[in-house]
Amino acid sequence: MFFGITNIWAYTVGAFLIILLPGPNSLFVLSVGARRGVRAGYRAAGGVFIGDTVLMAMSAAGVASLLRSTPLLFSVVKYAGAGYLAWIGLSMIRAAWRSRRDAADGAAPVPEDLSDPFRKALTVSLLNPKAILFFVSFFVQFVDPAYGAPVLSFLILGAICQLFSLLYLSTLIFTGVHLANQFRRRRRLSAGLTSGVGAVFLGFGAKLATTSLG
C-alpha cells in the first residue's frame, strides 16, 4: 500500500485509459487549438484542469452523495450542462455555415471568436454531474478507509490523473494547430469539420440530458 492507496498501478493504468476516452472537454480543447492556436488551447486546457480539480475536491468532500440523494439537484445540474453543451454545438455550426457561405461568395473570413476559452472549458467541466459521480466511484476503490490521512491519498490520485490529462490535452492542442495549418486555405473543408464537431457537442448534450443516477 502506498500512502493509503491500495493498488496504485491498477489505478494508474485505469486513469490513463479513462483520460484517453473522448469527451466534451478534450474535444473542446482540440477545437480551440485548431481554431485559435496554442496559447488559446492551453487556456482551454487550464479551464479543464481547474474544473476537474474542483470536481475531485467536491467528490472527496461528499458532494456526489448529495447529488445521489437529491434527484432534483442532479436534474438541475444535468440539464444546465446539457443545454450549455448544445449551445456550444449550435454556435460552432452557425459559425461554420457563415464561413461556408462567405467562402462561396468570396467574402472575407469570419472574424475570430474572441470569447474566453478558459471560462467555456471550466463551465463545460463543472456542469457535468456524471463526472462528479464518476470521480468518487473511481477514487474510493483505491483508497484504504483505515488510512489516517485520506486527503493525501486523494491528492496523489488526483495528481496522477491531472498529469495524464496535461500530456493528453497538450497532444490535442498541437494536433489541432497542425490540422489548422493544413486546412487554413480550405475554408469549405474547415467549415465542414467545424460543423461535425458542433454536431458531436449536440450529441454530448443529448447524452447528458438522458443520463440517470443509476
Q: What is the pTM of this model?
A: 0.71
| Residues 82 and 203 sit within 8 Å (Cβ to Cβ) | no
| Residues 103 and 56 sit within 8 Å (Cβ to Cβ) | no
Burial environment of residue 111 by CB neighbours within 10 A (0 to 12, 13 to 18, 19 or more): exposed
- What is the structure's pLDDT at 108? 47
| Res 163 pLDDT > 80 | yes
* Mean pLDDT of the residues in the chain: 75
- What is the structure's pLDDT at 118? 93
